Amino acid sequence: MVDESSPNPVLIVGCGLSGLTVALEVARFKKVMLLTKDDPTISATAWAQGGIVHLTKDEKSIETHVQDTIRAGDGLVDQDVLKFIARSGYKATEWLINHGVVFSQDKKLNQLHLVLEGGHSVPRIAHAGDATGRAILDVLIQKAIQHPNITILKNTFVIDLIENQHLTKLSHSNNIYGVYALNTVSNEVSTIPASHVVLATGGMGKVYQYTSNPSTATGDGIALAWRCGCKVANLEFMQFHPTCLFHAGERSFLISEALRGAGATLEHRDGERFMAKYDPKKELAPRDIVARSIDFEMKKHGIEHVYLNATLLDKDYITEHFPTIHGKCKRLGIDITKDRIPVIPAAHYSCGGVLTKINGQTNMENLYAIGETACTGLHGANRLASNSLLECVVTGLAASESIVRSKFTHNQQIREYEDSKPIHGEADVIEIFNSWDELRTIMSSYVGIVRSTSRLNKALKRIRLLSEEVRELSEQYRPNKDLLEVRNLVICAELITKSALKRKESRGLHFNKDHQNKLANALPTVIRSNAII
């Protein structure tokens, strides 16, 4: 039965796995509104090739996963959070299967086909071919579209969260009352009241030049939460996926880690393998080690990329288990059963985000952040492969329970959004794109895989100048999608850089040439500000 006592819906910003998990669960009891700034089918979930960690209730299965995650997270993992997720992990694949997701099967054993990925000690990755995310998303979006208690608004970009200052009569509570949202087609701004707001907008990979993320990954949820005073944590830990396709016609296509798990090797042009110099696990070392090793080899030899060689694998195995990669590369003139794949590290996943409890709750009673937008502490200093989809479902279910139990409701009168400013001219549009290009160059050059204190300080100075320019544009003109994205990315860039400067050591994904040793105590980097940016 749906609770009709609240006049406002639960508002979920983002249509990836975490947002859809919350939407489908909460909609059993409350009205839900799903917002997405683009088409609902575009999200990082759709691009997740490898799969989801599959756990059972077996203690050995749980304990080995716990140890692998701690090892990958380089001592910074919140072990209480990890153990909760590991012990609840069986619910994730169970929940997805119950909703109609079809995973690849091991026909001989009559069970899920599980594969090995980097950092894992045993095969435990459930997958749907090499397009797991797409298989999950297609099923859940259809469920959401058909659900009578879910309304989906596409092409709807959240400008700001509605706080006390936006009410006609000020309240003394620490709550969010809804959002101001821009329709990116009509450019009209609407006021959307909500009983609870869930930020599930994904990551911020587009702050870098090379990324495996979709165009939507502009750090929107992190920036929204930051502007209203939420804490952020561990943003210096940006995971660079070691193997993104290097090709002029396709700059964001991921070559799944599972291909290395199946036996593909990293090589130079002359066929020399190099990973044994860096880690005894070679190509199956954790992602931070593999990405840093490739980066070092590229700089050492002055080359633009290295090669991933899958030609020694069985052709039928490749076409059966990696049809997406095989098909995409073949359309670009690379037959991976015969040709090596040119690859380069690319920004992939943010291990940090808005600081939350295990159920996604922020320091505001009715504001939640989940998925890549959040920092629960699960990933520590480096995410273990395929833990992200697991976290999305487990924390999504926990967030749903919290929201359904919550009695918070409001009937506050909200001020209308001030939109009397002029529309951008052509010169201003060019300036916005120039700012974005400059920001990505700064971040890739100074705040990338290998950092130094002097280069981080240079980056921070330049980012602050860009921030001031973007602020001026925001004050002068009505919002549009491009300006809002740049505004959010500038905030995220500054937070990443500040976090990197605060960490006086090298740990996990954060490597600083001036602080190469690891401190005895692993502590999270937490930043909070009430400033409006």
Distance between terminal CA atoms of the chain? 41
| 188-227 pLDDT tens trace | 999 999 999 999 999 999 999 888 888 899 999 999 999 9
Residue 505 in this model has a pLDDT that exceeds 70: yes
Q: What is the pLDDT of residues 440-459, one digit of tens each?
A: 999 998 999 999 999 999 99
Q: Which helix (H) or strand (E) holds 88?
A: helix 79-88
Q: What pLDDT shows up at residue 43?
A: 83
With beta carbons less than 8 A apart as the criterion, state whether 128 and 102 touch: yes
Mean per-residue pLDDT, 234-263: 89
Task: In whole angstroms, give the CA distance from residue 369 to residue 355.
Answer: 8
Q: What is the pLDDT of residue 424?
A: 63
pLDDT of residue 217: 93
Q: How many CB atoms lie within 10 A of CB 88?
A: 18
Q: Say how far apart CA 23 and CA 15 lie, in whole Å.
A: 9
Helices (H), 302-418: 315-321, 323-331, 387-405
Domains of the chain: 241-347 (3.90.700.10), 426-516 (1.20.58.100)
Which pLDDT band holds residue 99 (cuts at 50, 70, 90)? very high
User: Which residue, 4, 34, 29, is CA-closest to 16?
Assistant: 34
pLDDT tens string 280-297: 999 988 777 898 899 889
Give the pLDDT confidence score for residue 533 in this predicted structure. 38
Q: What is the mean pLDDT of residues 238-265?
A: 88
Question: How does the average pLDDT of the chain come out, rounded?
Answer: 91
Residue 1 predicted with pLDDT over 60 = no
**Residue 329 has what pLDDT?**
95
For residues 27 and 10, what is the distance between their CA atoms, to the nearest angstrom? 9
pLDDT in tens, 462-481: 999 999 999 988 888 888 89
Pairing of strands 32-35, 150-153: parallel
Query: What per-residue confidence (pLDDT) applies to 515?
Result: 97
What is the secondary structure of 237-264 as a DSSP string?
-EEEEEEEE-BTTBSS-B--HHHHHTT-
**Number of Cα atoms under 13 Å in the Cβ half of residue 279:** 17
Angle at Cα 416 formed by Cα 414 and Cα 418, nearest 5°? 140
Of 45-49, 122-126, 139-143, 376-380, minimum mean pLDDT range:
45-49
pLDDT surpassing 60 at residue 234: yes
pLDDT of residue 531: 43
What's the average model confidence in pLDDT over 425-434? 71
| Better pLDDT: 289 or 510 | 510
% of the chain at pLDDT higher than 70 = 96
Beta-bridge partner residues of 322: none
Task: For residue 451, indicate whether it is catalytic.
Answer: no
Determine the pLDDT at residue 220: 97
pLDDT reported for residue 39: 86
What backbone phi and psi angles, to 5 degrees, belong to 446?
-110, -20
Average pLDDT (5-26) is 93
Amino acid at position 533, single letter? I
CA max distance for the chain: 71
Contact between 205 and 348 under an 8 Å Cβ cutoff? The reply is yes
Query: What pLDDT shows up at residue 463?
Result: 97
Contacts of 218 (CB under 8 A, 6+ apart): 204, 206, 207, 485, 488, 489, 492
pLDDT at position 426, please? 57
DSSP label of 310: -
Asked whether the beta carbons of 36 and 57 are under 8 A apart, the reply is no
In contact, 497 and 463? CB cutoff 8 Å: yes
Give residue 50's pLDDT: 77
Mind giving me the DSSP string for 100-164?
Answer: T----EETTTTEE-EE--TT-SS--EE-STT-HHHHHHHHHHHHHHH-TTEEEE-SEEEEEE--G
Flag whether pLDDT at 254 surpasses 90: no
Give the mean model confidence (pLDDT) for residues 132-151. Answer: 95
- Active-site hit among 287, 383, 451, 507: 287
Asked if residue 496 has pLDDT above 70, the reply is yes
Lowest mean pLDDT among 87-91, 172-176, 255-259: 172-176
